[in-house]
């Protein structure tokens, strides 16, 4: 049995490791995350990792290799959460763990609403959302579901909640 990955802050300094993880993901997994075909990860990840006010987490296996990433990206009074879990680590609760950590950062950052974009019919993401400890609101438009929660509701639903601060500057 594999040791549970540890979740750590990440950012532009880990670009090569995050790119390598993207290359280990199937096209289906990348489609589920980005909802479209993407150019080489080297082309878009630097801007994502350097986005002002954003926070980034990585899940690292026992060797230190990045096997999943989670991002919080500010959008006015809301913050978007996005996850990517390497295929061989899916279905083991890693995405749920990352989402909980992102929720704690959103709480500490003073955000009003946390949301994510999910493709209609994406069963893996729907399974993950069933593990969110508070009511998840949904609206669908054009094959994409916006799933969101009130960040203040997370305080009661997250085990061991304590106010945290964002990993990187900027919030609200």
56: part of which helix (H) or strand (E)?
A: strand 55-60
Residue 161 has pLDDT above 70, yes or no: no
Residues 24 and 81: their CA atoms lie apart, in Å, by 22
Residue in 162, 14, 20, 21 with CA at minimum distance from that of residue 87: 21
pLDDT attached to residue 152: 84
Residue 163 has pLDDT above 50, yes or no: no
Segment 74-84, tens digit of pLDDT: 998 899 999 99
Residue in 3, 4, 9 with CA at minimum distance from that of residue 168: 9
Residue 57 bridge partners (DSSP) = 9, 70
pLDDT attached to residue 155: 63
pLDDT attached to residue 165: 34
- Global pTM? 0.85
Q: How confident is the model at residue 167 (pLDDT cuts 50, 70, 90)?
A: very low
Domains and CATH numbers, the chain: 6-157 (3.40.630.30)
Give me 41's structure tokens.
């990860």
Segment 12-56, tens digit of pLDDT: 999 999 999 999 999 999 988 998 777 789 999 999 999 999 999
């Amino acid at each position: 049995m594999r040791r549970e990955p540890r979740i750590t802050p990440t950012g532009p300094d880990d670009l090569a490791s995050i790119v390598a993880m993207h290359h280990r993901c199937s096209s289906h997994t990348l489609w589920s995350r980005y909802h479209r075909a993407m150019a080489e990860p080297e082309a878009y990840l630097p801007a994502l990792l350097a986005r002002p006010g954003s926070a980034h987490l990585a899940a690292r296996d026992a060797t230190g290799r990045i096997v999943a990433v989670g991002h919080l990206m500010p959008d006015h009074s809301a913050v978007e959460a996005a996850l990517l879990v390497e295929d061989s680590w899916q279905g083991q609760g890693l995405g749920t763990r990352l989402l909980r950590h992102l929720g704690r950062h959103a709480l500490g950052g003073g955000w009003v609403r946390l949301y994510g974009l999910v493709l209609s019919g994406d069963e893996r993401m729907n399974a993950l959302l069933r593990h969110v400890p508070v009511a998840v609101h949904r609206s669908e438009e054009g094959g994409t579901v916006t799933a969101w929660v009130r960040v203040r509701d997370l305080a009661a639903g997250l085990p061991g909640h304590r106010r945290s601060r964002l990993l990187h500057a900027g919030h609200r």
